[in-house]
Amino acid sequence: MPNPSNDHDAPHPAGIVERLVRDDLDRKRFLKIAGAGAAASFGTFVLAACGSSSETVSTVAAPASTSSTASTSSRGDIGILNYALTLEYLEREFYAKVIAAGLYSGKVGALIKDFGAQEATHVEALKGAVQKLGGTPAANPNGKFPINDATQVAELAYTVENLGAAAYLGQAHHIQSPEVLATALAIHTVEARHAATLATLVKKSITPDGAFAVPAEMSTVLAAVKPFLG
């Protein structure tokens, strides 16, 4: 008769979020990479990220050997980074076109330029992260965006930024590398701040999902951005 404890202890692949919950050494390593600010938000981030997974933390056993985990990590994390990179390419292009259209001036215009510069920085950071893992950065897609008037563009920017934040959150529990998670978390919080700032501009909720952000799966996000691909 099988031993229930042996079944429970059988190795299962685990993302870095689940490993950070269980493993104090991994957790300290991540917080050192991400910076002191990550410590305060880590608990909430784990709850939101793991909420989109079919597994609970209590049922996930220790990861497989270091060598096999590293191999799996490189393939999976490169794919996630390139997915994020594709979204950031589109956001960078969107803001560049908005700025070129000259729809905003003054403080709002300066804010839009700041957002565009930050999205461009995200692109370079993600390309560097892919290359560091030995991968090839995703190609820059051609974007097409309706740039008609200031109100319509502000509402689209609000939607795009919320989608970007949800996309990062949706991949958190799949990430294997602490460094990649630190990068994703650092970008995720900026996307969310962009969305909150734009919410005040379009008079919408700065926390549309309430106390906990709702993650979006890759298929949902890609379907949402498909109309913006040339």
Q: Are 59 and 110 in contact (CB under 8 A)?
A: no
pLDDT of residue 230: 76
What is the per-residue DSSP string for 13-82?
A: ---HHHHHHH-HHHHHHHHHHH-THHHHHHHHHHHHHHTTSSS-GGG------HHHHHHHHHHHHHHHHH
CATH number corresponding to 4-228: 1.20.1260.10
pLDDT of residue 75: 61
- pTM tops 0.85: no
Instruction: Give, to the nearest 10 degrees, the angle between helix 66-101 and helix 106-132.
Output: 150
Structural domain boundaries of the chain? 4-228
pLDDT of residue 50: 43
Burial of 222 (0-12, 13-18, 19+ CB in 10 A): middle
Residues of the chain with pLDDT under 50: 2, 4-13, 21, 27, 30-31, 33-74
pLDDT of residue 18: 54
Q: What is the pLDDT of residues 156-184, one digit of tens each?
A: 999 999 999 999 999 999 999 999 999 99
